[in-house]
Amino acid sequence: MIVVLGDSLSAGYGIDHTLGWVSLLQKRLSDEGYPHQVINASISGDTTRGGAARISAVLERNNPSLVVVELGGNDGLRGIGLGEMEKNLTQIVISIKESQAIPLLVGVRLPPNYGVTYTEQFQSVFKSVADQSGASLVPKLMEGVASDLDLMQTDGIHPLAEVQSRLLNNVWSVLGPLLE
């Protein structure tokens, strides 16, 4: 069992959820002969605080072997302190490891209007948590997508359905080897 604990980027905001990268992950696993089932425990608007509050119940209910954590974007958009975000992500990863599941942390980006300094500090939180906890890291879920507004919904934050396979490929580059 693989659980994806994420926000709107994983919940498929603004698109048919069956076209989102998490649904495409289930299809890829099936097509490639992996026995894993994917549970999408993503909630649009969720923060790392919300993820930390519900991770124990998610783990208990699903007993996953691997948990993909894609949270943090809403923390940045809401101006939640980076220290709190790091503490929450660390707590989530520790809970996953204590359940004997493999944590996979997925970095997200903020729109450029937050300024270079803050966005770099924001991005460094994911690497810091991964380095300190030993979790695997996908540095940027939106690599090759976010910088092209033609690939984004009109809000400039959420990707179109047509590019969800790119998001999956970004995650798969790290997730695939973890399944071996």
Burial of 108 (0-12, 13-18, 19+ CB in 10 A): buried
DSSP assignment of 133-168 equals HT-EEES-TTTTTTT-GGGB-TTSSSB-GGGHHHHH
User: Which backbone phi and psi does 16 adopt, to 5 degrees?
Assistant: -65, 120
Q: Which of 56, 131, 155, 173 is catalytic?
A: 155
Q: Which CATH architecture has domain 2-179?
A: 3-Layer(aba) Sandwich (3.40)
Q: Which of 8, 95, 99, 133 is catalytic?
A: 8
Q: Which residues of 126-146 are buried (b: 16+ CB within 10 A; e: fewer)?
A: beebbeebebbbbbbbbbebb
- pLDDT tens digit string along 79-97? 899 999 999 999 999 999 9
DSSP letter at 18 equals: G
8 catalytic? Reply is yes
Report helix, strand or coil for 93.
Answer: helix
- pLDDT tens digit string along 40-54? 999 999 999 999 999
Handedness of CA 8, 171, 38, 103 (dihedral sign): negative
17 catalytic? Reply is no
158 catalytic? Reply is yes
Q: Which of 7, 42, 133, 158 is catalytic?
A: 158
Split at pLDDT 50, 70, 90, the class of 180 is: confident
Q: Which residues pair with 137 in a beta bridge?
A: 105
